[in-house]
Amino acid sequence: MDDPAVAGLLPADPLLHLLRRATFGPSPSAIAEIRRLGANAWLDRQLNPASIADPVADRLVARLPLCGLSISEIRAKVAAGQLKRYAWEPMWQLSFVTPVRMIWSERQLFEVMVDFWSNHLNVTCPFGDVWDSRTDYDRNVIRKYALGTFADLLKASARHPAMLSYLDNRYSTRLAPNENYGRELLELHTVGLGYTEADVKDAAKLLTGLTVNSATGQYRYDAANHAVGPVRILTFAHANATTTGGEGAALALLDHLAVHPSTARRIVSKLCVRFVADEPPATLVTKLVKVYLDNRSAIVPVLRALFTSPEFAASVGAKTRTPLEDLAATVRILGYGPPASGTKSYDSLYWMARNAGQAPLFWGPPNGYPDVAAAWASPSGLLVRWNFHLSLAAGYWPADLAKPADLMTGMIGARPATYGALIDATAKRLLGVTLGAAQTAALAAFYGKTPTSQLKPNDPAVGWMYPYLMTMLLNSPNFALR
């Protein structure tokens, strides 16, 4: 942590640094676990999410049974009269369950990567054209391949009705190729800027025929609508001689793009922005590009190399939480549990995030939510975060989260002797550090006291006003850092 502007705001502990970046925020149980396992074993476990039992998240997700339905399951419910055609309920359930998974899943790094790929291969949710396919896209594209290879993820997205509908390729024919998906495939999903209009036209041509069966909602390849003829897209060339071979030619393009050096640099750079710094070190990007290419776009080796790099270790304080991450991190560090029953709090958490400008999965353009501090720097956004810190800490909203009956003892144990000790213990619990003398004095002054003032059992500071101390600490620059 070389930046004097953040010196002392975060603990230097490398275990807590890893938790802040590879999860949606430290929680008391996650801190205990990583201290027990150590960084390497903890990372190994997180990179193998199938090995992690996740009963709490499974139980919570099961309360919204539409959120993981396949296309055929949604359409069967429509046929049975259990859902209306074009109903948005499955998409809303997926949106509402997203922060729940972020907060209470044990598979934290997996959920972070689900969020990362949901933005990289964005399909807005809810969105009318994907009413029957968006939940399936989450389950069978994003979640299925989140820790697989980018090549498999890219091919799955390219043949999924949600992506084909969202970026209009389902309407692209040999007589009227639609360039929307071809352009975003190059610019956003793979190589980035540097392509030509001729590249886009040939990509659109090659992708014709990848469409959706309007009767079933499923992907299909329509050979009759595939445009034949030779194509050249960047360094990829194909004769594309037959309509029956068009799907194979399109998949060959996707495989080529997935391991293109420019794609490697783009994916790796975005991972470094997510996990290291808004302007990541060039040395780290270069190293990780080699790992990506050597492993044919496999993501786990890249993540392992990233999290064990000296550049990552030196990046303490170099990232700022987005509003959605701030929300998840707040509940996690408080250690509050999920509601015992019902889903009312799911809606509340979603609307908190939406009020702060980052409704889960709701970004409209195909480029996904931004992940740099400048994109979220606004006084109004900060005020919304401060308000939900108080609502959450005090239990005002959502009111059904499981929290200690006595907040102070639940947070720090026995009552300290002085106001200064109360502030120190709470800061250590929520921020991982104690504050400087001036900040501690200012917080004591909020209660009309000094740090050395004796703390009595009936003082409001350990009763109904304790949530205000928690909130002021959560409002600090310390907590804003990822």
Per-domain boundaries in the chain: 15-258, 407-480
Read off the pLDDT of each residue in 309-324 and give the average, rounded to a whole number: 98
| Other Cβ atoms within 10 Å of 272 Cβ, number | 24
Tell me, what's the pLDDT at 132? 98
Residue 4 pLDDT exceeds 90: no
Strand partners, 259: none
Task: Tell me the one-letter amino acid at 138.
Answer: D
Give me the torsion for CA of 11, 325, 99, 366, rounded to 10°: -150
> Residue 5 — very low, low, confident or very high, per pLDDT cuts 50/70/90?
low
Tell me, what's the pLDDT at 6? 66
Say if residues 466 and 407 touch (Cβ distance below 8 Å). Answer: yes
Residue 1 pLDDT exceeds 60: no
Say if residues 330 and 478 touch (Cβ distance below 8 Å). Answer: no
Q: CB neighbours of 7 closer than 8 A, spacing ≥ 6?
A: 1, 317
Q: Is 242 left (phi over 0), alpha (psi -120 to 50) or beta?
A: beta
In tens, the pLDDT along 388-399 reads 999 999 999 999
The values of phi and psi at residue 243, to 5°, are: -70, -35
Pick the closest to residue 253 from 274, 229, 235 (CA basis). Answer: 235
Distance CA 72, CA 50 (A): 26
> Residue 8 — very low, low, confident or very high, per pLDDT cuts 50/70/90?
confident
Distance CA 264, CA 406 (A): 51
- What share of the chain has pLDDT > 70, as a percent? 99
Distance CA 48, CA 50 (A): 6
Read off the pLDDT of each residue in 263-288 and give the average, rounded to a whole number: 98
Distance CA 407, CA 410 (A): 5
- Answering whether pTM is above 0.95, one says yes
In tens, the pLDDT along 410-427 reads 999 999 999 999 999 999
Read off the pLDDT of each residue in 207-233 and give the average, rounded to a whole number: 98
In angstroms, what is the C-alpha Rg of the chain? Answer: 24
> Residue 464 — very low, low, confident or very high, per pLDDT cuts 50/70/90?
very high
The total number of residues shown for the chain amounts to 482
In tens, the pLDDT along 124-183 reads 999 999 999 999 999 999 999 999 999 999 999 999 999 999 999 999 999 999 999 999
Read off the pLDDT of each residue in 319-329 and give the average, rounded to a whole number: 98
Residue 54 pLDDT exceeds 60: yes
What string of H, E and C letters represents the secondary structure of the chain?
A: CCCCCCCCCCCCCHHHHHHHHHCCCCCHHHHHHHHHHCHHHHHHHHCCHHHCCCHHHHHHHHCCCCCCCCHHHHHHHHHCCCCCCCCCHHHHHHHHHHHHHHHHCCCHHHHHHHHHHHHHCCCCCCCHHHCCCHHHHHHHHHHHHCCCEHHHHHHHHHCCHHHHHHCCHHHCCCCCCCCHHHHHHHHHHCCCCCCCHHHHHHHHHHHCCEEECCCCCCEEECHHHCCCCCEEECCEEECCCCCCCHHHHHHHHHHHHHCCHHHHHHHHHHHHHHHCCCCCCHHHHHHHHHHHHHCCCEHHHHHHHHHCCHHHHCCCCCCECCHHHHHHHHHHHHCCECCCCCCHHHHHHHHHHHHCCCCCCCCCCCCCCCCCHHHHCCHHHHHHHHHHHHHHHHCCCCCCCECCCCHHHHHHCCCCCEHHHHHHHHHHHHHCCCCCHHHHHHHHHHCCCCCCCECCCCCHHHCCCHHHHHHHHHCCHHHHEC
Q: What is the mean pLDDT of the chain?
A: 97
